[in-house]
């Protein structure tokens, strides 16, 4: 790669211009008045002599080389996440019924991909989603709403023992999984296509890592909310309602965890330093209370099965708080990459 140092020149009162290397322009037949295309990539700019279009990419999975149908389904999901436009599952000898069902089942959990051909020897899937339409922060906000709803359902199930709430939480979890897959696909594609990164709100490659961690923390929190909802039915079935104070403590913990979770995501999106630190401070106290309550349960609850169920619930609370901590750490890391009145970024002389 050849470097061409250039000095910025002022044009008018607000515009800065830089000259193109003469040899580069001549080799491409460029002349005054021609249009060039500038692609933004974080702190870098790429200049193209012609408009850049991304060629569609196809991934072909050899089903004959995969023994387990479940593995085939995982490969389909991975191809989707990598941003391939078309995914083909092919077999010389013919696809088995279990292979076909595994592939079709996985497609149902992936957003924006449809089966366009199903034949004895191959299944072809086509991505129909427009990645430019989904900004990453919008997806994160939506994930936050879904997980908060799932936590509310789990709390309601604990208070009222409503089995229908468990079903609602599980169904919301399916939507959460689809949206999580979309988030990961967007992030991976943004690394391959800087122009897309700019369109969906990714300002630098390092930001992708942070968004990836936050998306995973949200997805895992949703899984723990599902487990909490299911465990709540076990708790009520085993007689915890006779210990009203104990139930109230669990509900209080659940509400505290839900608030911390919501505050952490808001702190990440707004980068408000006070919110980040106040949530971190509250997080430590809540985690200590959960640990203390877990020790007390051993002495307070004589029924071993009920005690175990209650401690499992506390374990899920702790796991969600671990996710909260990750989100807040990412928020702090993102904050110090910005020029603010708190942190100024300067080049070392």
Kindly state the average pLDDT of the residues 39-62.
73
pLDDT of residue 6: 77
- Domain range summary for the chain, segments of one domain joined by +: 9-48, 58-127, 132-335
* 207 compared with 48, residue with greater pLDDT: 207
Cα separation, 215 vs 229, in Å, equals 21
Do residues 210 and 327 lie in contact, with contact meaning Cβ atoms separated by under 8 Å? no
DSSP assignment of 166-229: HHHHHHHHHHHHHHHHHHHHHHHHHHH-HHHHHHHT--SHHHHHHHHHHHHHHHHHHHHHHHHH
pLDDT of residue 23: 80
pTM of the model: 0.82
Instruction: List the beta strands (DSSP E) in 253-315.
Output: none
pLDDT of residue 16: 81
Query: Predicted confidence band at 346 (pLDDT cuts at 50, 70, 90)?
Result: confident
Least confident of 64-73, 91-100, 284-293, 325-334: 284-293
Kindly state the average pLDDT of the residues 151-165.
80
Does the pLDDT of residue 47 top 90, yes or no? no
pLDDT of residue 1: 54
Of all residues in the chain, the percent with pLDDT exceeding 90 is: 56
Q: What is the CATH number of domain 58-127?
A: 3.30.110
pLDDT of residue 232: 82
Do residues 300 and 292 lie in contact, with contact meaning Cβ atoms separated by under 8 Å? no
* The architecture CATH gives domain 132-335: Up-down Bundle (1.20)
Structure tokens, 343: 């942190």
Residue from 173, 272, 278, 261 nearest 214 by CA: 261
Query: Are β-strands 86-90 and 58-62 bridged in parallel, bridged antiparallel, or unpaired?
Result: parallel
Interval 212-267: pLDDT, tens: 999 999 999 999 999 999 888 777 666 554 555 677 777 888 889 999 999 999 99
Rounded to the nearest integer, the mean pLDDT of the chain is 87
pLDDT of residue 169: 95
225 CA to centre of own chain? 16
Cα separation, 267 vs 46, in Å, equals 33
Does the pLDDT of residue 83 top 90, yes or no? yes
* 341 compared with 216, residue with greater pLDDT: 216
* 42 compared with 174, residue with greater pLDDT: 174
Kindly state the average pLDDT of the residues 282-288.
93
Does the pLDDT of residue 53 top 60, yes or no? no
pLDDT of residue 93: 93
Does the pLDDT of residue 201 top 80, yes or no? yes
Interval 90-131: pLDDT, tens: 999 999 999 999 999 999 999 999 999 999 999 999 999 899
Interval 2-44: pLDDT, tens: 677 778 887 777 778 888 888 877 877 788 877 777 766 656 7
97-134 in b/e burial notation, b at 16+ Cβ within 10 A? eebbebbeebbeebbbbeeeeeeeebbbbbbebebeeb
pLDDT of residue 237: 67
């Amino acid at each position: 790669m050849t470097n061409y140092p250039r000095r910025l020149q002022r044009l008018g009162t607000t515009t800065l211009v830089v000259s193109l290397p003469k040899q580069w322009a001549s080799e491409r037949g460029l002349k005054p008045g021609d249009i060039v295309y500038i692609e933004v990539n974080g702190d870098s700019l790429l200049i193209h002599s012609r408009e850049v279009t991304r060629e569609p990419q196809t991934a072909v999975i050899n089903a004959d080389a995969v023994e387990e149908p479940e593995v085939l389904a995982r490969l389909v999901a991975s191809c989707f996440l990598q941003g391939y436009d078309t995914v083909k599952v092919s077999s010389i000898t013919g696809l088995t019924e279990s292979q076909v069902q595994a592939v079709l089942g996985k497609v149902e959990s992936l957003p924006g991909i449809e089966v366009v051909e199903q034949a004895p020897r191959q299944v072809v899937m086509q991505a129909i989603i427009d990645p430019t339409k989904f900004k990453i922060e919008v997806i994160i906000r939506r994930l936050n709403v879904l997980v908060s709803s799932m936590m509310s359902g789990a709390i309601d199930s604990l208070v009222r023992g409503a089995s229908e709430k468990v079903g609602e939480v599980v169904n919301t979890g399916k939507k959460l999984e689809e949206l999580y897959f979309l988030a990961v696909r967007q992030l991976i594609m943004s690394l391959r296509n800087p122009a897309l990164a700019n369109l969906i709100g990714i300002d630098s490659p390092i930001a992708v890592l942070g968004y990836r961690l936050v998306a995973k923390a949200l997805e895992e929190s949703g899984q723990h909310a599902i487990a909490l909802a299911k465990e709540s039915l076990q708790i009520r079935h085993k007689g915890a309602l006779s210990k009203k104070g104990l139930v109230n403590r669990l509900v209080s913990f659940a509400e505290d965890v839900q608030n911390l979770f919501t505050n952490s995501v808001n702190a990440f999106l707004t980068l408000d330093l006070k919110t980040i630190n106040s949530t971190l401070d509250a997080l430590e106290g809540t985690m200590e209370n959960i640990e203390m309550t877990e020790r007390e349960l051993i002495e307070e609850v004589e029924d071993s099965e009920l005690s175990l169920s209650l401690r499992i619930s506390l374990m899920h609370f702790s796991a969600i708080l671990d996710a909260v901590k990750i989100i807040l750490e990412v928020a702090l890391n993102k904050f110090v990459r910005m020029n603010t009145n708190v942190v100024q970024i300067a080049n070392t002389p």
